[in-house]
Amino acid sequence: MPPKIENTPAPVDETPLTIDHLLRLRASQIPDTPILAYSHNKKEYTQYTASQLNALAYRVAKHYKKLITQCASSEAPERVVALLGISDFDYVISLLALAKLGMAVLLLSTRISDEAYRHLFDRTGCSDVIVQPTFEKTMGRVRSGHGSALNVVCMASRGLYEPEVAPEEEKGLTLEDMRFDTQLDMGVESSKNAFIIHSSGSTGLPKPVGQTHRTVIGNASAISMNPTSSFSTLPLFHTFGLTAMFGAIYYGKVTSIPNADLPITGKNMIAGLKATRPETFYLVPYTLKLMAETDEGMEAMKICKSVCSGGSACPEELGDKLAAAGITLVSYYGSTEGGALLNSYRPESDKDWNYLKAIPPALPHIRWEKYSESVYELVLLAGWHAKAFTNNPDGSYSTRDLWQQHPTDPLKWKYVGRLDDTIVLSNGEKASPLALEGSVRDSPYVNEVVCVGVQQPTLGLLVIPTERTIGMSRAELIQKMRPSIEAGNVRMPAYAQISAEMIGFLPIGTPYPATDKGTVIRPAFNRTFRVQIESMYSRYEENNASEGLSLSEEELRAYVRNTIIKTLKLEDTTALPDDTDFFSLGLDSLGSMQVQGSIRRELNTGKQIGQNVVFEKPTVRKLAGHLYRLRTGEVEKEEDEQSQIEIMKGLVEKYSHFEQHVPGNSDKQGDYIIVTGATGSLGAHLVSQLATKPTTQKVYCLVRAKGQPNAHERTIQSLKLRRVYEDLSATSLSKIIALPSDFSDPRLGLSEDVYAELLDSVNIVIHCAWQVNFNMDVSSFENAHIKGSHNLMTLCLKSHRSSPASFNFCSSISSVANNSTAETIPETQPKYENAMPMGYARSKLVTEKLCDVAARRTTLSARVLRIGQVSGDTRFGIWNATEAIPLTVRSAKTLGALPAPVNDEVVSWVPVDVAAGTIIDLSCLPQPAQNEASVFHVSHPRLLSWNNDFLPALRVAGLEFESVKPTEWIRRLKAVAQDADVNPEVKLLGFFEGKYTSDEVRSAPYFETVKACAASRALSGVEDIKDDIVGRYLEFWREGW
């Protein structure tokens, strides 16, 4: 058995400026130290010293210099030469040789399309490509279809650069004599590209990303906390593989590379480890899974001090298996755009292999931005040497990679997934599938698995089995996979768990779109297997309607009650009478999907249940009755508009009791303001603007949160997300106090002391928080919203100041938009029938009525502020790209067209910062003389023409598109791939079809703003939405395209 290689690390003793400078320094300082080994004969490994590698690179550089034009000086534009081939020894030497010539080397994957190659050549200005013989035909096709000349050069082989006897002309040459870049300034060159690596092109054509000499050397120096000899199976045209190889050169520790002609199999990797006996094993999770499938593979990995996995996330079960076996697994995180950033090197006693820490040089350059509860996005700050791109105004780069913080060690982070991986279900809920896929993929019966379900009611799995499943039935295969599925479900929220009927199988050996690292390209996978995915969901919908239990109506009530109790984990089973609203007990959209899934799986419903059935029938009596009548065919009495109006009136009557205000003796001066909804866009702008007002003493942000730290963090992150945080001085920030709250509680979920403080100080309440859910019934808004509003008005009336705090309710124009005959909607109290026919609008109208009741019966100053369509802010143009207007505009990229109604469309958009300023103006008005709630419309006073104003402004901003009739636009939208990952606008296809039923559109009424403009300087002075603002909107949206 060969001995372990344990040569002592010998890092460079001066700072290398370029890749060739690094190689020459190594050849000078450790000339006889082996730093690379390669298996030429597929068994033994030949070792090469630093001086040998330098000599071999010199010979090949001398050869290429005759075939490729060098860069004349450091002032001239960089010369880009592409390299295409497998990661063998010829590739290594060519890569080093081109570095000697001062070239920027474009490292090409062997698995992309001809179109992608041409695209990369065009983007980088590359006109020379060095190829291995295997790929000469490929480059021949590319060259024939390329617009400009492409010089294709055959890659140098061992016969040229490794003769048995060194050439006579090399005798006596010094290291300086072996330079080909003396015409270049190494100090300047260090900031130029050494290599250009490209993305996988998973969502389109690949993107080239330059890596400077300084970046490559910086990554190499950060590869390990304790440099060791290594065995690397990583491709050299990716950052991780390059970093592993140059790390060996940097530290003078040999890295062994297996013969590139050998397939990556467990058997071949085991042989390589036994032959080289390295201290570190570098590999991707796919190879790690192959190694872990056999006892021999597990034992071979124990040869190494550490097994280092990177390129994609390692499945938890796989990592846990290695850790339990005593294998030290180290996870690496880095990217083409950001270099090496985090790893899980740790003391032997620390078993958290899947929690990573930032490498010390990167730590000051990382910001964690909150994405959702307990999930953060990693953002690279300006100044990090390896940051290749910027996508934020402050010069930072949002990686779109999501992480969770360690529960006790704030420096440790666990990788969750990518924003790109997130699957958005038809109800809007989001699920990251990586943990589930990792668990299932760990099964020995599964070769590959992909989670699907974009815009579907539930998640599904598409599985490619391994050969050991030959002859198994579907039922047998699912039974074999069950432990892995159950392990994955434990890691998923209830609404995202997988049931057996939502598993589909592809034939053994089915090819699928993947990156060079073996990672599935999700959007391409969804496109490739679209028919199979649709078939699986159709089968699920059809089968479940007539299978399962057939229960009586009384039995159904018991079933529904038990299901809700189980979903909500209710200890008090008496808390669910037949007519209690599920959502008043805390059921949310996640829980409703879980309940619906149970019904689909377990009950015979006769017909297909609707996707919103739990929202529409939110009590035991209503849901059980509906399910019974659906199965028996009994005609169900429809709830007409009048019955909804009676429910609304009943809610107004229920919450119309208000105590009179008793003037107190509070000595507070200035404005102490409560703001709800601070974590939303409008709320963030409200808080920011209020905090900068000289008269503002405190801004209390009532936030739904688990505790004060979480409430504070959510509030600050919201301010940062809208780019208003940076404008706040320390004094302004000190005014902002975030409080965790529960609006359904009479004391708003606050402690007695905090509630008393608010009674003693607050003189203005701005109620902006409301659940935006267009599926829920009006009664489902009662507990948290209608009752919550009553509790806030009660607080106003209990104020210890001389007069009640004013209550300013941010309503919606949807509360009065159901009026087909009115051309203009006045700023007055509405009729019940004016609300749009959905629970959201009806709940807003109910609260408007309560404001009016309170103002008439007490001394409360109550204002109804109906908010119109809010657009992006005037400064940065930040407008949520998932809303209808931004998605419509995005179709210009997908379809090359935008809809232009024949009769034009007039819209009213008010920028969010202007809306916030208007609300503040109105909320700070003196108490009105009249004994009723004041009504104002926070809407743009002037209308915008879609055809004559907005579309031309988009063209001025540089967007190219054809204006087409709406029906033609819908036709084109239906014709494109219905993959929301690639074409997000298809998510709203149903909405668009409802809006554009013909080539003309129905004109929306004009919302009068006379009173609002007279009272608000912000609204009266608002500018029209013209080219400059539209340009900012488009610039912001394009960042996400």
Phi-psi region of 42 (alpha: psi -120 to 50; beta: other; left: phi over 0): left
Helix (H, G, I), strand (E, B) or coil at 369: strand
For the segment 337-394, what is each residue's pLDDT rounded down to a tens digit? 888 899 998 888 888 899 999 988 899 999 998 876 677 889 999 888 888 888 777 7
User: Of all residues in the chain, what percent carry a pLDDT higher than 90?
Assistant: 46
**How is domain 553-637 classified at the architecture level of CATH?**
Orthogonal Bundle (1.10)
Q: Is residue 769's pLDDT more than 90?
A: yes
Q: Say which residue the tokens 């996330």 belong to.
A: 313
Identify the CA nearest to 289 among candidates 153, 113, 466, 136.
466
Fold of 19-312: Rossmann fold (3.40.50)
- pLDDT band for 535, please (50, 70, 90 cuts): confident
- Residue 993: how many other CB atoms lie within 10 Å: 14
pLDDT at 1000: 82
> Which sign, positive or negative, has the C-alpha torsion 426, 431, 432, 433?
negative
When pLDDT is cut at 50, 70 and 90, the band that residue 813 belongs to is: very high
**pLDDT band of 336, cuts 50, 70, 90:** confident
Which of the two residues, 206 and 792, has the higher pLDDT score?
792
Mean pLDDT value across residues 539-552: 64
pLDDT for 2: 47
Mean pLDDT of the residues in the chain? 87
Residue 784's pLDDT is 85
**Beta-carbon contacts of residue 693 (< 8 Å; ≥ 6 apart):** 671, 920
**Strands 413-418 and 397-405, bridge-based pairing:** antiparallel
> Do the Cβ atoms of 959 and 952 come closer than 8 Å?
no
* pLDDT for position 170: 74
Mean pLDDT of 296-323: 89
Contact 233, 217 (CB under 8 A): no
CATH number for the domain formed by residue range(s) 422-544: 3.30.300.30
Highest mean pLDDT among 91-105, 573-587, 600-614, 810-824: 91-105
Which helix (H) or strand (E) element contains residue 808? strand 806-812
Cβ contact 808:764 at 8 Å = yes
Question: What are 38-47's pLDDT values in tens digits?
Answer: 999 878 999 9
Q: 500 or 397: which carries more pLDDT confidence? A: 397
The tens digit of pLDDT for each residue in 240-255 reads 889 889 999 999 999 9
| Model confidence at 29: pLDDT above 50 | yes
Lowest mean pLDDT segment, chosen from 191-205, 361-375, 668-682: 191-205
pLDDT at position 210 over 70: yes
Per-domain residue ranges for the chain?
Answer: 19-312, 422-544, 553-637, 881-910+944-1041
897 pLDDT above the threshold of 60: yes
pLDDT (0 to 100) of residue 763: 96
Q: Tell me the mean pLDDT in the region 593-607.
A: 76
Say what the pLDDT of residue 3 is.
45
Query: Residue 111 and residue 108: Cα distance in Å, rounded?
Result: 9
Is residue 193 over pLDDT 80? yes
Between residues 515 and 736, the one the model is more confident about: 736
Lowest mean pLDDT among 185-189, 503-507, 547-551, 954-958: 547-551
